[in-house]
Amino acid sequence: MKVYKLTVFEKDGKKILDEAFEASSDSDAKNLGATMLEEKGYAEHTHRCTSPLGKLLLFHV
């Protein structure tokens, strides 16, 4: 399992969520990240999900 990072920002750039989670692949992490954003109500906030190698899996401004 690899550790991925999900970060959510306010419009002013303030970080409101900075959470690490484990997934077995980049595609699983992308799906898990999207689900986490929906569950927490942050899907429309600026966010990013990155892989352990720095690959950008999800991004929304």
Q: What is the pLDDT of residues 3-35, one digit of tens each?
A: 999 999 999 999 999 999 999 999 999 999 999
Mean pLDDT computed over 33-50: 97
| Residue whose entry in the numeric block shows the structure tokens 């997934």 | 23
pLDDT of residue 7: 98
C-alpha–C-alpha distance, residues 42 and 12, integer Å: 15
Sign of torsion, CA 35 37 43 48? negative
- B/e letters for 29-53, b = 16+ CB within 10 Å, e = fewer, are bbebbbebbeeeebeebebbbbbee
C-alpha–C-alpha distance, residues 11 and 52, integer Å: 26
Mean pLDDT computed over 48-58: 97
